Structure 1
Amino acid sequence: MAFPEHFLWGGATAANQLEGAYLEGGKGLSIADVMTCGGKSRFKVDLPAIKPEYQKFLSKMRYVTFEKDGQDGACIAFKQNTYPDHGTPKIVEGEYYPNHEAIDFYHHYKEDIALMAEMGFKAYRMSIAWSRIYPNGDDDAPNEEGLAFYDRVFDELLKYGIEPIVTLSHYEMPLALSMKYQGFANRKLVDIFYKYCATVFERYAGKVKYWLTFNEINSIIHSSYVNAGVFANDRQLSEYASYHQMLASAKVCQLAHEKYPHFKIGCMISSSIPYAYTCKPEDNLEALKSYDLRVNYYSDTMVRGYLPEYKIKDLERRGIKLPIMEEDRAILEKGTVDFISISYYQTSIAAASDDGLKMAEGNMIRHIANPHLKTSEWGWSIDPVGLRYTLNYLYDRYHKPIMIVENGLGAFDTLNEDKTVHDAYRISYLQEHLSEVKKAIEIDGVDVMGYTSWGCIDLVSCSSGQMSKRYGFVYVDRDDDGNGTLARYPKDSFYWYQHIIETNGEEL
């Protein structure tokens, strides 16, 4: 059989995108709690240098609201070059923040986990909201109400035989850490994160085996705030933050390996392979170097245990010197991960020069268009074969087990009068991608541990804040304005995925 007998079939979500209850149970504000819904803010962000065709996608991206010099304002969360100088993120009266209630998993978790069990999930990749455990991040003691909530969630999962896969930091750092320290740009965050991880490791050691340290750690190239709590348009601070995150990940891995040998710790990388635009040597070199700096730097450091030479040279050219201390080398060497996890949504094109080339315009991305690929309603290229290519590339480079923890199609869904959703487009997307995963395992010999589709139930979109950008197997009655009953309705893809899991992927 192509898929291993104990393959981890399931789905994935993030706490800040589905839990809601943003101030219940002793929770503090997170960096996500000041992020709006795309197109719903009363603020306008001036983008005079952006072409009109790209602006229509940027208008659907969510903002971070802030105060500067006594005035309220907003910037694009995933466009660091729009961040203000010396602004302070805050909740602004009159703005809509979809994360505050989201789909209210906090009160619906039993119902939602029962639906996962009905689909036959073997695993559920989720995150812990750091600000539920330490409301301000640097509190002396953890919040017992927050710890107890995740006890209940894990117990419910284990009741159905569903393995929790837990992300420790998934775009939901306590807001106070961003405001007080500039997030991970400050080395103090390494120990603060370590303390948080030590707390949840000890609490859930008997319930959770699989852990991921930082979600899409390389996404800092798009957003230093969402990724690492750095609210500043400053490349040097972003590089400091990335380094401190990888150092923190290594310390946490070392703790797990020494104290909890049954744990498996993974890194999590946003993987988007760039193809060379032509067979020109210059285009191929550009593809290689761009992937090194956008992806490999992060996985090389966390899997191999040292900073790669190509990154050191890049920093030298930029005049940036990382705040490396004497003991750091040993920490990185000893704190390597056990497996690699990835998000995979699209591929890109690289060329030595993009002058005169057609560009792909979408929310979060702008790169050279690939004429051989279709795109989603949000402008993301759809490339199933690219997933097989990516799995082969990573396994050849590291020879570590790989888990696909995000892959899915964001689309507009229609809830019919009989409460059904006919999402054949989603089934087609997932079927094509899983067929390539099967080939990677069966033909290429790649060790793939599991597949958790993003997001298994409709939730707030990370990039746009919209509910209308739906990924789930379960439709949630909620719209972009926060209206709806929050009722849950299985889509056609729910029953399709149920059969895929039941047959262990043999009847794709």
Structure 2
Amino acid sequence: MKIKIPENFMLGTSSSAWQIEGTAGKEAGQESWAELFFQSDPSRWYDQIGPQKASDFYHRYKEDIATMASFGLNTFRFTIQWARFMKDPLKGIVDPKAVAYYQDVIKTIKSHGMKPIISLEHWDIPAVLLEKYEGWISRETLSLYTDYVKKALDCFSEEVELWFAFTEPNIPIDNGYIKQIWYPFVHDPKKAYQAHFHKIVATATAVKIAKEYPKVKMGAMVHMTPVYPASDSVEDQQAAYYTDLFEVRLYLDAYCKGKIPEEIFTELEKYNCLFTYTLEDLQLIHQYPIDILGIDYYFPIRVKARKIPYDQPFSSKIYYEDYLWPKREFNADRGWEIYPKAIYDIGMRLKNEYENIDWFISENGIGIEKEGRFRNKAGIIEDDYRIDFIKRHLYYTIKAKEEGCHCHGYLIWSFIDNLSAINAFKNRYGLLELDLNTYKRKPKKSLYWLKDCIEKGIVE
């Protein structure tokens, strides 16, 4: 498996603010979703480690960015944390310390010849909006987000071209209001789909606002889970169709085609879960599709027709049962199937069904427990499994580009071992190892391998 890295191809890493920054520099009242989640029950989090320090990027960003650049990476996607940026999100007051911090992060990235990409929200909505308005369930949050977008663009639009309204907008909603595994731990599908809809409207609003800034392209990053049916049977194909409708097309069609699929409305109405909307909302979505799409890909969904009756409140699970593909590769530490070819399939779908929209892989990576067991005598973690994972996923990304897809890059999750919700540092994703005792960073074998690929211009 060998392929040439294209010219002007973004090859770098992705991050999110609450997972790497820590809470340093924030004051009372600037808590985010992550702090609220952790404080609600610290015992849920692995080793009771919360977001207080994370990877300490807030203090070490100059070091971390310099390290990325020294290994040849040319792109870094980070998040402006809404709760940090706004000293008072209810009154629209910006925190000058946060502005200075993010300005210097951008300056540091560019000084090393790297391209900065900004995400405006990676789940980390200000805690006060959750407590006061139930977050994205309310129109008030939509209005306050609009103010946040304008102020962030005012501060940084001259220095950064690529912006993203959201990263994985569905994940905190589905996990918090459908699966009950994240804060606020409820199953209320009507509230969930109201929140989904408001995030879709918010994205169109961000695109509209961005039109006022000539240098800016505004996109969104979706958590893409390609759906594969167990067989060609009508029943399995139907299960896959409806799973894809709710897991993929709800956001993808709205973002890229400017229209929420009609069947979303009919199905949600059938199950008494239809969100409130206005004609103006639908017109806004139609008029302002995104400029560029980020694809966060980790695993596919494989489905078969439901045989066992579903007796829970509505979710996409009503349409299918999980299918375990006999030929699957499996990351037992994370519980996810490994299927690199899905990236190629995603690319072909975007080319054929979505007018070949501009896109790139905005996240892809593998989390492994107890990586210390792979440490060699020189003290370096020999993460050959990560090299193999990245190599094959990057290969299919470039292959899609070679076959005419408008694919512009591949970003790895993540440059450093980072915090995850509930799992904390249990699963390690980084190209850099983080020592939680000293907070020293150490490159893993995968980072040296990646540098070699970049220098040669070939993935092999």
Residue 195 of structure 2 is matched in structure 1 by 241
Distance 1:22 1:232 in 2: 30
Residue 252 of structure 1 is matched in structure 2 by 206
Report how far residue 243 of structure 1 moved: 0.8
**Equivalent of residue 200 in structure 1, options 152, 162, 166:** 152
Distance 2:184 2:161 in 1: 30
TM-score by length of 1: 0.81
Residues 239 and 441 (structure 1), Cα distance of their counterparts in 2 relative to 1, 3 Å cut: same
Residue 84 of structure 2 is matched in structure 1 by 132
- Does residue 447 of the first structure (1) align with residue 406 of the second (2)? yes
Residue 72 of structure 2 is matched in structure 1 by 120
Residues 244 and 507 (structure 1), Cα distance of their counterparts in 2 relative to 1, 3 Å cut: closer
Report how far residue 355 of structure 1 moved: 5.4
Residue 341 of structure 2 is matched in structure 1 by 385
Residues 416 and 101 (structure 1), Cα distance of their counterparts in 2 relative to 1, 3 Å cut: farther
Residue 469 of structure 1 is matched in structure 2 by 427
**Equivalent of residue 101 in structure 1, options 40, 43, 53:** 53
1:166-214 CA-to-partner distances (Å, cap 9, x unmatched) read 1100011110100000001101111100111111101001111111111
Residues 269 and 181 (structure 1), Cα distance of their counterparts in 2 relative to 1, 3 Å cut: same
Please state whether the residue corresponding to 1:24 is helix, strand or coil.
coil
Residue 230 of structure 2 is matched in structure 1 by 277
Distance 1:230 1:139 in 2: 25
Residues 303 and 176 (structure 1), Cα distance of their counterparts in 2 relative to 1, 3 Å cut: same
Report how far residue 24 of structure 1 moved: 3.5
Residues 265 and 140 (structure 1), Cα distance of their counterparts in 2 relative to 1, 3 Å cut: closer
**Equivalent of residue 154 in structure 1, options 106, 116, 124:** 106
Distance 1:392 1:230 in 2: 37
Please state whether the residue corresponding to 2:427 is helix, strand or coil.
coil
Residues 74 and 469 (structure 1), Cα distance of their counterparts in 2 relative to 1, 3 Å cut: closer
Query: Contact 1:178–1:231 (CA<8 Å) still a contact in 2?
Result: no
Distance 1:133 1:250 in 2: 21
Please state whether the residue corresponding to 2:418 is helix, strand or coil.
coil
Query: Contact 1:184–1:229 (CA<8 Å) still a contact in 2?
Result: no
Please state whether the residue corresponding to 1:260 is helix, strand or coil.
coil
Query: Contact 1:267–1:341 (CA<8 Å) still a contact in 2?
Result: yes
Report how far residue 322 of structure 1 moved: 2.4
Percent of aligned positions with the same letter in both sequences?
28
**Equivalent of residue 12 in structure 1, options 11, 14, 19:** 14
Residue 397 of structure 2 is matched in structure 1 by 437
Please state whether the residue corresponding to 1:169 is helix, strand or coil.
coil
Residue 502 of structure 1 is matched in structure 2 by 455
Distance 1:432 1:340 in 2: 21
What letter matches 2:257 in structure 1?
R
Residues 188 and 389 (structure 1), Cα distance of their counterparts in 2 relative to 1, 3 Å cut: same
Gaps of 5+ in 1: 37-64, 67-72, 78-94, 357-365, 479-483
Residues 466 and 140 (structure 1), Cα distance of their counterparts in 2 relative to 1, 3 Å cut: closer
Report how far residue 315 of structure 1 moved: 1.5
Distance 2:394 2:115 in 1: 21
Residues 238 and 496 (structure 1), Cα distance of their counterparts in 2 relative to 1, 3 Å cut: same
- Does residue 347 of the first structure (1) align with residue 300 of the second (2)? yes
Report how far residue 25 of structure 1 moved: 6.3
TM-score by length of 2: 0.90
Report how far residue 419 of structure 1 moved: 2.9
Please state whether the residue corresponding to 2:368 is helix, strand or coil.
coil
Distance 2:116 2:89 in 1: 23
How many residues align structurally? 439
Q: CA RMSD in A?
A: 2.4
Residue 88 of structure 1 is matched in structure 2 by none
Distance 2:206 2:144 in 1: 11
What letter matches 2:19 in structure 1?
Q
Please state whether the residue corresponding to 1:100 is helix, strand or coil.
coil
Report how far residue 111 of structure 1 moved: 0.6
Residues 212 and 382 (structure 1), Cα distance of their counterparts in 2 relative to 1, 3 Å cut: same
Distance 2:225 2:307 in 1: 18
Residue 418 of structure 1 is matched in structure 2 by 378
Residue 371 of structure 1 is matched in structure 2 by 326
1:344-386 CA-to-partner distances (Å, cap 9, x unmatched) read 1111211112559xxxxxxxxx932222112112211011112
What letter matches 2:342 in structure 1?
G
- Does residue 221 of the first structure (1) align with residue 174 of the second (2)? yes
Distance 2:118 2:155 in 1: 13
